[in-house]
Every structure is written in C-alpha cells, then in structure tokens.
Amino acid sequence: MPRFFVYLCSMKRIENYDLSSHNTFGMKIRCALYIEYETVEELQNLPWKELPQPIMHIGAGSNLLFTGDFPGTVLHSAVKYIKFVDMGLDEVLMTVGAGVVFDDFVARCCEVGLWGAENLSLIPGEVGASAVQNIGAYGVEAKDIIAGVVCLDTTDWSKTIFKTPELAYGYRDSMFKHAKGRYIVTSVLFRLTRKYSPKLDYGGVRAALEGRDLTALTPADVRDAIIGIRRAKLPDPAEKGSAGSFFKNPVISREHFERIEAVAASHAAAGSPAPSVPHFDLPDGTVKVPAAWLIDSLGFRGAVNGGAKVYEKQPLVIVNESGSATPEEIMALEQDIISKIRETYGIELHPEVEHI
Ligand code: EPU
C-alpha cells in the first residue's frame, strides 16, 4: 500500500468541525478543518500549503477562549505513548507523547511509585501543552520534571530537541510562547525519581495529609491529597465549563504592595480592623499577590454577566455557568474585573487564558 494512503487512513480529518468538546469552556465554535494525527510522520507529511489558513495546534483546549469561529485548520495530536527509560539508581526518564492526557501521565508515575509529578495531579490538559505553558500547582511546575522537549520545527520540518535550560521557563511561560506557531511539541522527556521526595510546603498540602505519617507517604498518597484540594476549589470541567485560573497572579514591588495594604485598610468598615492582604515574598524582593484575593475584595465573587459567572468557590476562575455563555459575555466580565482592579489598586491583571 502506498505510504500516503496509510497516513490518510489513520488520521482524522473533518471539515467544518464543531470544537465544543475541544475547549473546556464549552464554547460552541467551529473550525474550517480539524486534523487529528496519530504519528509524527503523519504530521510531517501534511499538505501544509493546501490547508485552510491560519493553522493552529491545540491540546485539550483547557486554557483557551475561542472568541469566534476559527477560519483555518486546527491540529491535534493523538500521539499517545508513555515509555520508561530506567537510568539505574534513583532516576527514571519517561518519554511521553504530546497527545497523552497530562493527568494520565501523572497517574502512571504515581502507580509505579515515582516522585515528581504528584503535585500536578488533576491539572486539565495534555502533555504537549504542559511543556509550552509550564503548568504549575502546589509548589511544583512542569519545568521541574521536564528534562527535554522534542519538537517539529515548522520552518524546515526538522526534528528539534531542546534541553530544559534552553526553554526559558518562567511562571506560565516558555520560549514556545514567544516563538508562536514555529514549534510543534511531539513528545516530552520527563525526569522522575524513586527517591522519597514529597513536596508538602505549599499552603494546604500538609494540612490535607494531617494524621498521616509524613515519613512514609507514597506518591499516590500525595496525589490523593492534591485531588481532594482541587476538587473542593475548582470546577470539574465535565460539569461546568471553565479554563481553570482565568488570570495570572500579579507580581509587584514591595512599595506598591504597601500602597495596596493602605487601600485595603481605607476600604475596611469603620471600626473594623484593616484586612491583612495575603501575599508571598519572592526571593528578588518583589511580592506576589493572589489575583483571587484582589477580585474577591472588589465584590466579584459570584458576579454574573449573562451565562458567565465568577466562580463562588474560587474567584480566579470564570465559569460558563449557563452552558451557553458567549465569548463576549466572558470577556465583558474579564474587562470589568481588569479595569476595577486597575482603578482601585493600580495593578494590571493579565489573563492566563489564551484568547483565540
Ligand atoms: N503561593 C505560594 N505559597 C503558598 C500558597 C500560595 O507561593 O503556600 C503563591 C503561589 O505562587 C500562587 C499564589 O500565591 O501563585 C496564590 O496561591 P493560591 O494557592 O491561592 O492559588 P491560586 O492563585 O488560586 C494558583 C494557580 C492554579 C493552581 C494553584 C495551586 C495561577 C494563575 N493559578 O492558583 O493553577 O492550581 O495556584 O498551586 O497561578 C490554573 O493555572 O488553571 C490553575 C488552576
């Protein structure tokens, strides 16, 4: 059988495709063409110039807000494998296809007793996107366990391997985000360890394990605790559409933070004590302020605009409450929050969610 025919057989290729099940906000939008490939060779051999433009690659759509129908081609990886490379001693390398659901990878690590990924349990999304977005939770970021990233460079279709230091990882940031569209992540190399190394210092994690012997935990124990914390705070995308945290947590100077404390004190009801503003001092002297607190302090918890709503249990999240919220309704709420926070605190909130 000719090679080309084999590729066409295993690939999903659908025109005028409904992307509702490919964005966790549940926006009912369409793209001109949707292609899901199962091998890197299929991706390499696509007739790129003939595809409807522009071309974008998605993961699980868990960090995207589609603002309207997409006129071009949406690509999605169904490259799903998890391979272990035992390095002897404590270290285990894992090479994982970009299309693997990130939490399936975390579950697998925990099942076989490997440490490193457990704090990232239940984060929606796929492995390829985790390396682009540097997803993070409970004191761990993807970059902490990524040893390298294998990509296809769309300028010459060559396979390119980056080592972690080359990827300029930062808070929800990487080189990939600044080289928009150039690289397609095809697999990620993770470094895990057998060595006992639970990370329990992030607020709430130790408390969730109260009563347990903290010297004899398994990665699965920590995973269970993290899942419990997340379920209590964050909406289940299967039940209520959202894209997790809508905004990034702002980092400001200490002097700016002191002004915010003064503003918060001036807002306190007469006779009641000034509220303490939660914050985390960063090593470079700057201060991270939880965006959730800023949003809550201005009364946005539970605020509704049409079908969109600020989630009651976690005001950093905007949900598609009605199931039929429009992008405009979500963005109006977003703009309202951004401008009130700017006016009150002089802080510019930046969305974490990518607008398409
Ligand atoms: N913080 C610490 N130490 C702590 C607690 C918090 O340094 O012990 C810092 C964190 O850096 C965090 C900020 O303070 O960024 C606020 O922390 P909080 O636990 O209130 O979390 P959050 O702002 O509600 C962030 C992530 C979530 C992640 C949680 C738990 C963002 C935009 N969101 O949310 O990620 O699950 O921390 O780690 O950074 C997501 O990205 O969609 C998401 C849900």
CA 343 to chain centre: 28
What is the model's pLDDT at position 241?
Answer: 95
Question: What CA–CA distance (Å, rounded) separates 243 from 319?
Answer: 8
SS3 content of the chain, % helix, strand, coil (to 5): 30, 30, 40
Q: pLDDT value at position 278? A: 95
Q: What is the CATH number of the domain that holds 246?
A: 3.90.78.10
In the prediction, which pLDDT does 270 show?
66
* Residue 83, domain member (yes or no): no
Residue at which a domain ends, from 179, 210, 233: 233
Confirm whether 297 is a catalytic residue: no
Q: Confirm whether 145 is domain-assigned.
A: yes
pLDDT recorded at residue 86: 79
Does 194 participate in catalysis according to the annotation? Answer: no
Tell me how far CA of residue 111 lies from CA of 104, 130, 219, in angstroms.
10, 20, 8
Q: Which residue do the tokens 């390499």 mark?
A: 44
Ligand 1 centre distance from Cα of residue 230 (Å): 11
Residue 9, pLDDT score: 57
Domain around 161: 88-233
Number of domains in the chain: 3
In a domain, 141, yes or no: yes
Domain containing residue 212: CATH number: 3.30.465.10
Going by alpha carbons, the residue nearest to atom 17 of ligand 1 is 290
For atom 36 of ligand 1, the residue with the nearest CA is: 137
C-alpha span between 181 and 191 (Å, rounded): 26
Integer angstrom CA distances of residue 252 from 256, 284, 315: 6, 11, 20
- My answer on whether 94 and 47 are in the same domain is no
Q: Is residue 222 part of a domain?
A: yes
Given this model, what pLDDT does residue 3 score? 45
**Closest ligand 1 atom number to CA of residue 203:** 8
Q: How far is CA 278 from CA 91, 234, 264, in A?
A: 37, 20, 11
| Spans of the chain below 70 pLDDT | 1-9, 269-270, 274
Ligand 1: list residues with CB < 6 Å.
137-138, 202-203, 234, 244-245, 248-249, 280, 288, 290, 292, 316, 352
CATH code, 50: 3.30.43.10
Whether this prediction's pTM lies above 0.85 is answered by: yes
The answer on 255 and 175 residing in a single domain is no
Residue 314 shares a structural domain with residue 247: yes
For residue 267, what pLDDT is reported? 79
Helix (H) or strand (E) holding 44: helix 40-44
In a domain, 8, yes or no: yes
Q: Which of 44, 77, 110 is the last residue of a domain?
A: 77
Last residue within a domain, chosen from 77, 102, 134: 77
Both 166 and 109 in one domain: the answer is yes
Q: Report yes or no on 82 lying in a domain.
A: no
Same domain, 130 and 201: yes
pLDDT of residue 10: 75
